[in-house]
DNA sequence: CTGTTAGCGCCTTCAG
DNA sequence: CTGAAGGCGCTAACAG
């Protein structure tokens, strides 16, 4: 493999001139620059990432950090991962995957102290997230994908669960739905303070009132059997229900089944929305699901971009960006049937 | 951050002694070893990954390489990714994600020439895979997850589609099924020589005969609407069909819908198997699907382990390992109804 | 069993 | 605008 030395020799200039020509950190005369570029081309030279890192104290690698015991990591997370990799690549960075196996602070600490990565993006953020104190103590730039209410001053991007809920309810309300059932994630997740669940819960209560909706919220474990039972019970107890808003991809098929079993059609008798979901999930079903889709690409590009900006000290604001979901109308929503 | 120098000073030994104590590349007296460990503990020392890489010419990083235009990357791939990361971690390696955006050889070439990674694992391998010549030319260790029949001498792990098909058919046959429909992936995938599709096709033909099954194969695009049409047609044309073997996760819900619409019950009237699938997919449905599940964990651990062995030159065989899927009986299979 | 030292390839002062 | 040279932190000969 050719090194910067070979390039310098071939171009008849010094090593540092080549280095500066590459980084652009200082002006180089046009002729030398041309010579250097010519030499690099002929040698098919690529800077050696590791050597560059050692000298510059920046590795151009960031980590995507998952907490231990990934509870139902699904299709949406998958697209976040690939989006993160592509966003990093676009900016000349590499992305490594760190999947913690324990909550032992030393596990993460040791990973960081290897100084292999310049910064990290935290996935699946919870309130009082155990990772945040460690990242702070190690003074490494980081960025939350999600919010931790006990760390309100950190950088984060997140879905705007409040606005998303408002929009979903307003949308259904506009279609004439008055009796709406919101199927949230599990009660355990709620009690553990998991942001999406907590915030959506509060938003549902609030906007049900504001929009004069007769709402019912159910917590539901992430499996179709529980989804079935939950929906069946709702249909039994509140037969006037005309819409389900389901923020729990893994119980969807159970909910649908319960509706069908009851002899109700979608979207004729009942409307169904997969909330904070993804196209990949929606199109697994027939009929395809109307969804409020997480802005995975935008959110992740932002997170990666801002993290890198922070690493490179381009600026120092604390960006906190919330993005509501986008409605994608497919085949499971329609006007309420009021008879 | 403390360096190896600090450790050496604190322990009262030379730098190289510390280095060798860490790597174990040469014997160290018990007393010195204890001193060194003590010093490392007190300083909370971690070797600097980058410096170590530069000196040793090994980065302890491997790449997971995805081809451009990820056609339907799903739940099963997701578990492969996390499995790969964990397998790498267990062996002291890091995993970076490389998602190519084009088929331009230079894109991959440049990635490799940075010398950031010691080896790469290729996902979604096709026949005549354009990445293989590049990897060879760059002389970097690599490992295929999947097979390329035009590169029969490369290292690979893959699902054994032949044996898996045999088992699935034998299993159904054992339940009394005689009229079985195999729903494969798309005809395009077949024609482009995509291994799983081609091999399963051949195996189905062969074992249908051997097992005296009246089989019908359908190619099917990866969406539920096509799944519905395909299954509906089969049910129409061959009403004696008592089992569906579906190697196409994304069309499953359509197939199920077609069966239900026809007024047939699962598994009472018809059995259904999700073939070469995953638990994550199976439990998205209600009733949960009987599957032949890809051995994602075993396959990926093997790939990562062998790749690392090859990097570290532990041995030089060419491992080619095929692993059949495992049957997980859930709720969609039962004895054939022969009336 | 242990220590000394020359790099690994590049970046970045410092001196022109 | 350009060059020389000293590291970055660690590994691995080489020399005891």
pLDDT tens sequence across B216-242: 999 999 999 999 999 999 999 999 999
Q: Which residue is nearest to nucleotide C13 (CA to C1')?
A: A16
Gap from B49 CA to chain A (nearest CA, Å)? 5
Taking a C-beta distance cutoff of 8 angstroms, is the pair A125, A145 a contact?
Answer: yes
pLDDT over 70 percentage in chain A? 98
Ramachandran angles phi, psi of A275, nearest 5°: -100, 140
pLDDT at residue number B339: 62
Per-residue pLDDT reduced to its tens digit, A170-184: 999 999 999 999 999
CB contact under 8 A, B78 and A82: no
- Confidence band of B37 (pLDDT split at 50, 70, 90): very high
| pLDDT of B315 strictly over 80 | no
Q: Among A307, A305, A320, which residue's Cα sits nearest to residue A141?
A: A307
Q: What is the pLDDT of residues A187-209, one digit of tens each?
A: 999 998 899 999 999 999 999 99
Our CA-based measurement puts residue A263 at a distance from the nearest CA of chain B, in whole angstroms, of 13
Q: Is A24 helix (H, G, I), strand (E, B) or coil?
A: coil
Cβ of A284 within 8 Å of Cβ of B250? The answer is yes
pLDDT tens readout for residues A288-297? 999 999 999 9
* Average pLDDT along chain B: 93
Nucleotide of closest approach to B30 (CA, C1'): C1
Q: A101, B86: Cβ pair inside 8 Å? A: yes
pLDDT for residue A257: 95
| pLDDT the model gives residue B191 | 92
Distance from the first to the final alpha carbon of chain A: 77
B29 touches strand D (CB under 7 A): no
Q: What pLDDT, on a 0 to 100 scale, did the predictor assign at position B165?
A: 98
User: Residue A131 — left, alpha, or beta (φ > 0 → left; ψ -120 to 50 → alpha)?
Assistant: alpha
Q: Which chain B residue lies closest to A106 (C-alpha atoms)?
A: B44
| Strand C nucleotides within a 7 Å radius of protein CB atoms | 1-5, 7-13
Query: Could you report the per-residue pLDDT of A98-153, keeping only the tens digit for each?
Result: 999 999 999 999 999 999 999 999 999 999 999 999 999 999 999 999 999 999 99
Of A53-67, A163-177, B142-156, B310-324, the range with the lowest mean pLDDT is: B310-324
Whole-angstrom Cα distance, residue B270 to residue B331? 12
Per-residue model confidence (pLDDT) at position B314: 75
**Quick check: bond before A287 cis, omega within 30?**
yes
- Per-residue pLDDT band for B76 (boundaries 50, 70, 90) equals confident
- Cα distance between residue B77 and residue B72, in whole Å: 10
Instruction: Give the pLDDT of residue B27.
Output: 87
Nearest nucleotide relative to A14: CA against C1':
D3
pLDDT band of B79, cuts 50, 70, 90: confident
Tell me: pLDDT of A259 over 90.
yes
Q: Is the minimum distance from the CB of A15 to strand D below 7 Å?
A: yes
Rounded alpha-carbon distances, angstroms, from residue A332 to A205, A271, B155, B167, B283: 24, 6, 47, 38, 22
CB pairs under 8 A between A and B: 138
CB contact under 8 A, A253 and B95: no
CA–CA separation, A164 vs A150, rounded Å?
A: 23
For residue B123, the Cα-to-chain-centroid distance in whole angstroms is: 7
Q: Among A95, A113, A225, whose Cβ lies nearest the Cβ of B286?
A: A225
Residue nearest to nucleotide D2 (CA to C1'): A17
Of B61, B74, B99, the CB nearest to A89: B99
Are A115 and B85 in contact (CB < 8 Å)? no
Per-residue DSSP letters for B32-49? HHHHHHHHHHHHT----H
Whole-number distance in Å between B16 CA and C4 C1': 9
Residue A338 has pLDDT above 80, yes or no: no
Give residue A76's pLDDT.
81
Question: In this predicted model, what pLDDT tens digit does every residue of B8-22 receive, in sequence order?
Answer: 999 999 999 999 999
Contact of B296 with B261, CB cutoff 8 Å: no
Q: Looking at the predicted structure, is the pLDDT value of residue B319 above 90?
A: no
Tokens standing for residue A216? 């019912």
| Cβ pair B286:A78 closer than 8 A | no
Q: Which nucleotide does the CA of B8 lie closest to, via C1'?
A: C3
* A62 pLDDT higher than 70: yes
Within chain B, strands assigned E span 61-66, 94-99, 119-122, 142-145, 156-159, 179-183, 214-218, 243-246, 271-277, 290-293, 320-323, 326-328
Q: Which residues contact A284 (CB under 8 A, 6 or more apart)?
A: A75, B224, B249, B250, B252, B253, B284
Predicted confidence at residue A316, as pLDDT, reads 65
Looking at residues B281-295, what average pLDDT do you find? 95
Angstrom distance (rounded) from CA B27 to CA B238: 73
Cis peptide before A267 (omega within 30 of 0): yes
- Measured from Cα to the C1' atom, the residue closest to C9 is A51
Is the CB of A14 less than 7 A from some atom of nucleic acid strand D?
yes
- Residue B268 vs residues B242, B251, B265: alpha-carbon distances, Å: 9, 21, 5
Predicted pLDDT at B111: 95
Residue B279 has pLDDT above 80, yes or no: yes
pLDDT of residue B77: 85
pLDDT confidence bin for B70, thresholds 50/70/90: low
Q: Name the residue in chain A with its Cα closest to that of B63.
A: A96
Nearest chain A Cα to B70, which residue?
A: A82
**Token code pair at residue A335:** 């006007």
On whether the CB atoms of residues B99 and A85 are closer than 8 A, the answer is yes
Per DSSP, which regions of B175-237 are E strands? 179-183, 214-218
Q: Identify the pLDDT of residue A74.
A: 82
Quick one: pLDDT band at residue A1, thresholds 50, 70, 90? confident
Burial annotation B66-98 (CB, 10 A radius, 16+ → b, else e): bbeebeebbbbbbbbbbbbbbbbbeeebbbbbb
Axis crossing angle, helix B296-311 with helix B75-90, rounded to the nearest 10: 40
Residue A72's pLDDT is what? 63
User: Using the CB atom, is residue A59 less than 7 Å from strand D?
Assistant: no
Could you check: is the Cβ of residue B48 within 7 Å of any atom of nucleic acid strand D?
yes
Which pLDDT band, with edges at 50, 70 and 90, does B190 fall under? very high
**Contact residues on chain B for A283, CB-CB shorter than 8 A:** 223-224, 250
Rounded-to-integer distance, Cα B217 and Cα B238, Å: 12
Considering only A18-22, B115-119, B313-317, which range has the smallest mean pLDDT? B313-317
Alpha-carbon gap, residue A306 to A284, rounded angstroms: 33
Averaged pLDDT of chain A: 94
Contact residues on chain B for A225, CB-CB shorter than 8 A: 286
């Amino acid at each position: 493999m050719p090194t910067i030395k070979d390039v310098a020799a071939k171009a008849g200039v010094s090593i540092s001139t080549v280095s500066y020509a590459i980084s652009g950190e200082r002006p180089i005369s046009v002729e030398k620059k041309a010579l250097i570029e010519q030499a690099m081309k002929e040698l098919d030279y690529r800077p050696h990432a590791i050597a560059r890192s050692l000298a510059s104290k920046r590795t151009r690698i960031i980590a995507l950090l998952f907490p231990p015991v990934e509870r139902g990591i699904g299709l949406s997370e998958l697209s976040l991962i690939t989006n993160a990799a592509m966003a990093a690549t676009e900016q000349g960075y590499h992305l490594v995957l760190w999947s913690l196996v324990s909550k032992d602070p030393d596990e993460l600490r040791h990973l960081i102290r290897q100084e292999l990565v310049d910064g990290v993006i935290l996935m699946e953020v919870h309130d009082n997230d155990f990772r945040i104190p460690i990242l702070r103590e190690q003074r490494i730039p980081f960025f939350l994908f999600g919010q931790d209410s006990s760390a309100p001053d950190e950088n984060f991007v997140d879905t705007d669960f409040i606005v998303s809920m408002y929009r979903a309810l307003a949308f259904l309300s506009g279609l004439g739905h008055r009796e709406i059932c919101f199927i949230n994630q599990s009660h355990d997740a709620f009690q553990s303070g998991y942001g999406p669940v907590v915030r959506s819960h509060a938003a549902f209560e609030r906007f049900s009132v504001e929009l004069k909706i007769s709402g019912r919220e159910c917590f539901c474990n992430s499996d179709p059997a529980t989804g079935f039972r939950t929906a069946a019970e709702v249909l039994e107890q509140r037969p006037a229900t005309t819409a389900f808003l389901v923020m729990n991809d893994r119980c969807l098929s159970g909910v649908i089944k319960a509706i069908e079993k009851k002899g109700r059609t979608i979207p004729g008798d009942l409307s169904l929305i997969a909330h904070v979901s993804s196209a990949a999930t929606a199109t697994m079903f027939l009929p395809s699901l109307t969804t409020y889709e997480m802005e995975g690409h935008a959110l992740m590009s932002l997170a990666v971009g801002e993290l890198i900006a922070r690493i490179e000290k381009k600026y120092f604001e604390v960006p906190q960006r919330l993005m509501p979901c986008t409605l994608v109308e497919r085949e499971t929503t329609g006007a309420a049937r009021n008879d």
